[in-house]
Amino acid sequence: MKKTGLNLLFAFLSTGALAQGTFSGDFMTNLNFFMKDSLIGAADNPLYDNALSGSDAWLTLRYATNNGFTFLVRADGFANSNLKNPVAPNTDFGIGAWNVTKELGDLTISAGSIYDQIGSGILFRSYEDRGLLIDNALMGFEVKYRFSDHLNGKGFMGQMKNNNTENNIINNVRYAPVVKGLNFEGEFSVGKVRLSPGVGALNRTLDANSMLSVVEALNAQPIETRFEPRYNMYAFSLYNNFIYKTFSWYAEGTYKTHEAIAQTNLASSLLTDHDGSVLFTSLNYGRKGYAINLTGKRTENFVMRTSPSETLLKGMLNWQPIVAVLRPLRLMSRYTPASQDLSEMAGTANVSLAPNDNTTFTFTYTHINTLNNDKLYREVYGEGIYSGIDNWILEGGVQYLEYNIALYQNRGSSVNRPVLYAITPFAEVTYKINEKKSVRFEGQYMSAAYDYGAWAFALLEYNVAPSWSISVSDMYNAVPNPGTDNIRYVDPGNHYYSVFCAHTRDANRFTLAYVKQVDGINCTGGVCRYEPAFSGIKATITSSF
């Protein structure tokens, strides 16, 4: 299987009919050098004791011919990598993705690694996120057809890529259940109104071994909780994007039929028989001087995986959007709420005001509970940006946060670990020395009584556009939590220094950083995972051609 993509590519390219075309591609690599630091917990695992260094790399090649063929092959390499398991090295090399696509007028046929989605991705999404080592490509076939200027359709079938097996993170393993999908999307205008409706359907069929695992799990449960599992799960989605002048409204409703799902939020994990649903909507309205965004989502028992036996990042079929606003600021990002598959009622209101060309204010309120009205997340956020002084940009604001650390970070029960409350003021000042050079300062302080306690963060950055960026930062545990809520290391002298340098030249970007990182949750694209403390050097190279 590892050679399939290359063999197909070389076979086609060797024919004279496909000799003319265009090559393109990209390359990315991460290099890590592990430097032991027992004080912060970066120690006592094979990465720091034995491996000492590790790397990940991806090389993608694309070839588009003049007669409608497109070929893609991606080589993935992992050498003592910590991406799959943050506390243990993993090594593998092979063809991570391959695809052959042919356009035949209004018909497009693809085979190999399929990356696509239905609607917003709630029903189905196959995608790659290298930062979290997510690569749930659909390995199979996809057919797209353009019925008219206003209607398109697609269908696909195959198996989901499995990059979670031990000592194997390349494309030679697939989850056994079969996935099939159908999707139609339209694009219509009625006067000044533009409508983009869509409908989708998905079917997942369990294989015999997956069904056997479900039956064994059910037989181990109390008799009163058992039920007859189903081989097939069906799911459907209806969505539309409505646009009128500066007003837009996206709405999507998704339903899945009964199947066995793991109730991981219970004290004892049980399989239960439920159908599921998601309602998602987003409204946007803007005029000169202000903009309003409202987002809401209701989720009930909507677990979409290749089988009920898969958890965490394994066997994912879909992606649920995060309703809360993702904050890139260092301290705030530690407590980003992940979407909940089993029970969530979430809403966010975001308002931006621009009284003049030099001033902008943003205000946000987010409210997330379970369907049983248990508190999950609250955020009250405000910031202002002022650029009315020559060469200066001033920004400041504050966040108030309530975060259910027991649920989001699996830190025991809410009885012995209360909801985390935090207030985080922040400020940022940018001075433009000239058209290319600038200096930026960023400061944050998070007042919190749980987890590690209060934090202070400061960063100083120097930029020479478009070539250089250099920064130094420190994250300091200013007021450590001395109680049992603190996780591992209580030391008021803990500093987490970082020094970063980036250089961009043509289509190439190089970074080098010395990093001390506290353990915590890292969230990307709606998927969160725990990362242990890190101490050492990180380097990256990205290039496109």
What's residue 355's pLDDT?
A: 94
Its pTM stands at 0.89
Residues with Cβ within 8 Å of 128's Cβ and at least 6 positions away in sequence, in order, are: 97, 115, 134, 135, 136, 137
Beta strands in 211-270 (DSSP E): 232-244, 247-262
Q: Which two structure tokens, joined as six digits, stand for 4?
A: 């399939």
Please, are residues 106 and 42 in contact by the beta-carbon 8 Å criterion?
no
- Residues sharing a CB contact under 8 Å with residue 10, sequence separation 6 or more, in sequence order: none
Long-range contacts of 355-358 (CB under 8 A, 24+ apart): 355/289, 356/388, 358/386, 358/387, 358/388
Q: How far apart are the first and last CA of the chain?
A: 27
Dist CA 46 CA 131 (whole Å): 21
- Rg over CA atoms, the chain: 25
What pLDDT is stored for residue 268 in this prediction? Answer: 54
What pLDDT, on a 0 to 100 scale, did the predictor assign at position 163? Answer: 78
Indicate the helix (H) or strand (E) that contains 12: helix 4-13
Closest CA to 341 of 370, 361, 363, 367: 370
Residues 6 or more apart in contact with residue 32 via CB below 8 angstroms = 53, 54, 55, 82, 536, 537, 538
Q: Which letter does DSSP use for residue 7 in this model?
A: H
> From CA 168, how far away is CA 85, in angstroms rounded?
12
Token pair in block for residue 213 = 């695992």
Model pLDDT for residues 283-335, shown as the tens digit of each residue: 999 999 999 999 999 999 999 999 988 887 789 999 999 999 988 888 998 99
pLDDT at 304: 94
Q: State how far Cα 239 lies from the chain centre.
A: 22
Q: Nearest CA to 203 among 153, 163, 259? A: 259
Torsion on CA atoms 380, 427, 403, 410, rounded to nearest 10 = 160
DSSP 8-state symbol, 337: P
pLDDT computed for residue 489 by the predictor? 47
Amino acid at 386: Y
Which residue in 183, 107, 113, 119 sits closest to 143, CA to CA?
107
Task: Using 70 as the pLDDT threshold, list the residues of the chain that sit under it.
Answer: 1-19, 164-172, 264-268, 411-417, 482-493, 522-529
pLDDT (tens digit, 9 = 90+) per residue, 385-441? 999 999 999 999 999 999 998 888 776 544 455 789 999 999 999 999 999 999 999
pLDDT score for 522: 62
Q: Look at residue 416 in the predicted model and tell me its pLDDT.
A: 53
Q: What is the pLDDT of residue 8?
A: 55
Burial of 191 (0-12, 13-18, 19+ CB in 10 A): exposed
Q: Which amino acid is at 247?
A: F
Q: Decide: 471 and 488 in contact? Cβ < 8 Å.
A: no
DSSP string, 56-95: EEEEEEEEEETTSEEEEEEEEEEEEESSSSTTS-EEEEEE
The pLDDT value given to residue 43: 87
Structure tokens at 536: 């050492």
CA torsion, ordered 339, 326, 367, 331, to nearest 10 deg: 110
Are 268 and 228 within 8 A, CB to CB? no
Which residues make Cβ contacts (< 8 Å) with residue 171, sequence separation at least 6? Answer: 1, 2, 76, 94, 95, 96, 97, 98, 113, 137, 139, 161, 163
